[in-house]
Structure 1
Amino acid sequence: MDGHMLIIGAVIVTIVFAVMYIDIRYYENLKSLVHHNGIFKYHILQRGPKIVVIGGGSGLSTLLRGLKEYTSNLVAVVTVADDGGGSGIIREEMGMLPPGDIRNCILALANTEPEMDKLLNYRFKDGSLKGQSFGNLFLVAINDITGSFEKGIEKMSEVLSIAGRVLPVTLEDVRLVAELSNGAVVEGESKIPVISHNTGVSIKSVYLKPKDPPAYEKVLDAIGEADAVIIGPGSLYTSILPNFCVAGVSKAVNESGAVKIYISNIMTQPGETEGYDLLDHYDAIKRLGGVDNIDYIIANNGTVSAEIENKYREDGAELVKEIKKIPPGPEVIYDDFIKLKKDYIRHDEKKLAYRIMEVVLNTRLKKDHSRVFDYFYIKSLLISKRPQ
């Protein structure tokens, strides 16, 4: 009997080691194949997880640059309440939705040469076009040729061969309105944080005018099909929450079977989130955004030099304070996500994407036996891209 048990034990150990060896060899070979074969990489990225990112501003485009290394099934859902800068001028003079955030997301997902990237990001220095982005004008021209904003976005995305899709949250011409804590009402995305900061009166809530505009149908479809829905990073009241003021978006997120992840900003923002800690940010998403089932929060616990911190503090911004637990609720994933760019604090897009894909791997792909190939592919990428 003991001899039989010994043989059975030896067989089990052999099988375990064989499986481990095959596992390691599989994703090592897969990693090598993907690295050396561009066509294969293109097709395998097309099989990647379906990820919807909801937001606006520079935070959204930064995140997309990191995520496109893992999947081409990306959908950026972008607010269209912007009324400042070049986008505001185009909006008023051309009567079209603001192109700025849309353009930034398209360029973040584009597979273009550096020269093309520079061209589309170029801003005119003189004359009536001073400060205007060439990329904005490019989108205006395509909008005019195709006859609609959504078709213009599709055509520009096609021309630049982007890794995913960029969708306006609504096709309605909307304006952002804020109610301040003293009852005052401020209309205009660009005016809200300025007036709030200058008067020292905090934002109580935001809504769109007209109220509850219909969501772009493709946005709701994408959320329903997603493996992961990511909220943020971005300006809380002027970039993120306006998306949830659109009819149907909160409901679609709450009813989606996707894993829901909120990415907190690294810094507080003057006129929007002064004095906010992580719990305050999360509470606003839940209470004002109507999203009540976030599974994970990804937040920064890194620090910066006293010199940089003081520079931000002079402008009314500080590092978002971490908290140990959000009761009851999501799991909080902390890491040092700070990346300095000319002394400006930004999210490290590679580390951020890595942490997101870890969550997607373990909550979605690992449990879906029909996606074994996708699981090993993401696993191999995570091994090769593990932050040092």
Structure 2
Amino acid sequence: MRLIHWLKPGLKIKRWIICGLGGIVLVSIAISNYLNQLNLKLSFFMSVFLGLIGLITVFLSLKSGIVSILEFVYYPVTLTGKTDNGKLDKKIYDKKILARGPRVVVIGGGTGLSVLLRGLKLFTSNITAIVTVADDGGGSGKLREDLGMLPPGDIRNCILALADMEPTMEQLLQYRFKEGDLKGQSFGNLLIASMNDISGNFEEAIQKICDVLAVTGKVLPVTLRNITLYAKLQNGTVVKGESNIPIRSKAEKSPIEKVFIKPKEAETIKDALCAIEDADIVLLGPGSLYTSVVPNLLVKNIKESLNKTTAIKVYITNVMTQPGETDGYTVSSYVKGLLNHWPEGRLDYVIANTGTISDIVSSKYETEGSEVTKLTEYDREILSHMGIQLITADLIDIKKDYVRHDAIQLSKMIIDLVLQYKVASDKSRIIDYFYLRELLKKS
């Protein structure tokens, strides 16, 4: 069986190894015949000695060459998170390394989700992003209102995060018109809207876009129903619309008590449920708690699927609090807010940041009413009491004074978590995880 498996077509390397060995045999015959013509005679000991030296030389040369190739393949990730774009190394890397990666499902929306995806795709190609479609603001909201389609904004960002494209193409898809009726609208949103119009449904449109842009993994809308997000504030006020919720909460100085969607019977798509069922790890967040992460849990069958899966379930708390949504929240506050909408749910891990930001950046966020999410001893005790393991690290990455998660550091923690957990329970995949362990060591 192993021989049959070895003979199956793959990267077309085995055929060249066999051809190379055949060439060595032919050259050896030719040299032997030439030596006979010269009447050069060697003693038995000398023949054996030279033969052994030759074999050792060939072996060491092949070994060193293969190791050099594998090191180049295993280490395409630089400290800046960039990969080499050469066709050969990318083909080998994608097919033999990333394809061995764990099956990761990420549920959420907003900037936090797309940032994480950019890091994850460096370590696995088995990614499924399940994205909220409750957005009703900005360019996405306008297209939703004008064309009656699902909002494309969060999905567009996830597609771009997982796509393999030139920087110019990404700039084009992110370009926003500055004048006219299209002012503020993203070209990427218009592309998705156009594809939606010529496709059977929104899911099919997204799949076609993903194929065109060579997306790593899958990007799925959580539902194909046109849903509206509502929030009930602690003062009893009910707010309609995702974009209005933080504004009203902040204006009335009343925190969010719970959120819900209409229609309540909106169901998730089958591919999303299958992805959760087959996952090695399911990540909730990062992203706005009540307007990006929780709305996905409110769609029918998502929570049930999460309860049934054997995957590791991890919640990633936000680096910064969000004005009008999570003011004053600490790590345990986020977890409670999540589980209040998923009473029967159980988290295995929570990943939280312990890094800090400079006074200059901090003052900028303070003027907006935002601060670094705190992790207190009380939070640690609460999570321990709930049976949730806490993983902490400095996860802050600041670019142009904007605070985000360090995508590569966070992704390495996630992949390493899967390696620790899954190797013990799934011996058949030890080899796959060995490759990933080596990649993590070198990245």
TM-score (norm 1): 0.90
Residue 195 (str. 1) matches residue 244 (str. 2): no
1:205 partner SS: strand
Residue 340 (str. 1) matches residue 398 (str. 2): yes
Contact 2:339 2:345 in 1 (8 A): yes
Q: Which runs of 5+ in 1 are unaligned?
A: 1-25
In structure 1, distance between residues paired with 2:114 and 2:240: 26
- Please give the residue correspondences for 1:369-384 in structure 2 after superposition, counting only pairs within 5 Å: 369-384=427-442
Residue 289 (str. 1) matches residue 350 (str. 2): no
In structure 1, distance between residues paired with 2:314 and 2:372: 20
The Cα RMSD (Å) is: 1.7
In structure 1, distance between residues paired with 2:210 and 2:292: 22
- How many pairs were matched up? 361
Could you say if the C-alpha distance between residues 334 and 271 of structure 1 is closer, same or farther in structure 2, counting changes exceeding 3 Å? Answer: same
Residue 163 (str. 1) matches residue 216 (str. 2): yes
Deviation, 1:291, is: 5.9
Amino acid at match of 1:273: T
Residue 307 (str. 1) matches residue 378 (str. 2): no
Residue 41 (str. 1) matches residue 93 (str. 2): yes
Contact 1:28 1:380 in 2 (8 A): no
In structure 1, distance between residues paired with 2:90 and 2:409: 23
Contact 1:170 1:246 in 2 (8 A): yes
Equivalent residue, structure 2, for 1:279: 332
In structure 2, distance between residues paired with 1:134 and 1:162: 18
In structure 1, distance between residues paired with 2:205 and 2:410: 30
Could you say if the C-alpha distance between residues 135 and 106 of structure 1 is closer, same or farther in structure 2, counting changes exceeding 3 Å? Answer: same
Equivalent residue, structure 2, for 1:9: none
In structure 1, distance between residues paired with 2:433 and 2:344: 28
Equivalent residue, structure 2, for 1:121: 174
Contact 1:27 1:376 in 2 (8 A): no
Correspondent of 1:267 among 320, 323, 328 = 320
2:181 partner SS: helix
In structure 1, distance between residues paired with 2:240 and 2:68: 55
Deviation, 1:57, is: 0.2
Amino acid at match of 1:360: V
Amino acid at match of 2:363: N
Contact 2:101 2:433 in 1 (8 A): no
- Please give the residue correspondences for 1:84-163 in structure 2 after superposition, counting only pairs within 5 Å: 84-163=137-216
In structure 2, distance between residues paired with 1:184 and 1:129: 34
Comparing 33-42 with 129-138, greater Cα deviation is found at 33-42
Tell me which structure has the larger Cα radius of gyration: 2
In structure 2, distance between residues paired with 1:152 and 1:235: 26
2:416 partner SS: helix
Correspondent of 2:131 among 75, 78, 83 = 78
Could you say if the C-alpha distance between residues 318 and 143 of structure 1 is closer, same or farther in structure 2, counting changes exceeding 3 Å? Answer: same
In structure 2, distance between residues paired with 1:145 and 1:352: 38
Correspondent of 1:328 among 372, 379, 386 = 386
Q: Which runs of 5+ in 2 are unaligned?
A: 1-65, 77-87
Correspondent of 2:72 among 22, 32, 42 = 32
In structure 1, distance between residues paired with 2:265 and 2:169: 38
Comparing 283-292 with 261-270, greater Cα deviation is found at 283-292
In structure 2, distance between residues paired with 1:283 and 1:193: 19
Deviation, 1:47, is: 2.8
Percent identical pairs in the alignment equals: 49
Deviation, 1:212, is: 3.6
Amino acid at match of 1:98: P
Residue 251 (str. 1) matches residue 304 (str. 2): yes
Contact 1:27 1:377 in 2 (8 A): no
Comparing 362-371 with 260-269, greater Cα deviation is found at 362-371
In structure 2, distance between residues paired with 1:305 and 1:41: 38
Comparing 238-247 with 319-328, greater Cα deviation is found at 319-328
Deviation, 1:367, is: 3.5
Q: Deviations over 1:210-254 (max 9, x none)?
A: 114111111111100000000000000000000001111111112
Q: Deviations over 1:172-228 (max 9, x none)?
A: 010000001011100000000001011101110000011141111111111000000
Could you say if the C-alpha distance between residues 87 and 306 of structure 1 is closer, same or farther in structure 2, counting changes exceeding 3 Å? Answer: same
Correspondent of 1:52 among 105, 112, 122 = 105
Deviation, 1:255, is: 1.3
TM-score (norm 2): 0.79
Contact 1:74 1:163 in 2 (8 A): yes
Deviation, 1:31, is: 3.8
In structure 2, distance between residues paired with 1:285 and 1:28: 47
